[in-house]
């Protein structure tokens, strides 16, 4: 019983080698199945074998190239969507950070204005007291 056949033909088409592997996998046997063992049975491959093999190889290569192109297109589309999502997240984070910074700045300005008003009132009170004290001293 022939399980696997490996055919190699020269470019000139003058012949090649066919190896027949038995079902047991322990020895090779002749195509007639007589049980006589031999290392390799040499013969010319059937007519058209290499033409069929070349056509099958070309078809397989074309199919693989098409599958690769489709996979690349899908990967590119996925990457574009992921990039757009990342940009949207980054823009939202930036806007939030700017809003927080603006609120903090406004709060700091309000505190500074209140501190300035309090300091101005204290200074005005001190100035009035000093003026009154100076007037009392002058009157005495």
**CA–CA gap between residue 128 and residue 117 (Å, rounded):** 16
DSSP 25: S
**CA distances (Å), origin 18, targets 10, 39, 47:** 12, 11, 13
**CA–CA gap between residue 2 and residue 15 (Å, rounded):** 20
Site of tokens 């002058």: 138
Q: What per-residue confidence (pLDDT) applies to 51?
A: 72
**H or E, element range at 9:** strand 5-9
Q: What is the pLDDT along the chain (140 residues), one digit of tens a residue?
A: 444 444 444 444 444 444 444 444 444 444 455 554 445 555 666 666 677 778 888 888 999 999 999 999 999 999 999 999 999 999 999 999 999 999 999 999 999 999 999 999 888 888 888 888 888 777 77
Pull the structure tokens for residue 79.
């990457």
Q: What per-residue confidence (pLDDT) applies to 29?
A: 45
DSSP output for 30-92? -TT----B-S-B--PPPTTHHHHHHHHHHHHHHHHHHHHHHHHHHHHHHHHHHHHHHHHHHHH
**CA–CA gap between residue 71 and residue 36 (Å, rounded):** 51
Closest listed residue to residue 49, CA positions, set 3, 98, 7: 7
């Amino acid at each position: 019983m022939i399980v696997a056949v490996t055919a190699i033909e020269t470019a000139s088409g003058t012949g090649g080698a066919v190896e027949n592997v038995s079902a047991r996998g322990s020895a090779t046997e002749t195509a007639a199945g007589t049980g006589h063992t031999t290392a390799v049975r040499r013969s010319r491959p059937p007519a058209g074998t290499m033409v069929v093999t070349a056509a099958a190889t070309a078809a397989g290569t074309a199919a693989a190239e098409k599958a690769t192109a489709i996979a690349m297109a899908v990967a590119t589309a996925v990457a574009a969507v992921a990039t757009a999502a990342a940009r949207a997240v980054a823009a939202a984070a930036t806007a939030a950070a700017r809003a927080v910074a603006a609120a903090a700045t406004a709060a700091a300005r309000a505190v500074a204005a209140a501190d300035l008003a309090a300091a101005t009132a204290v200074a005005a009170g001190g100035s009035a007291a000093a003026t009154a004290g100076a007037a009392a001293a002058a009157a005495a």
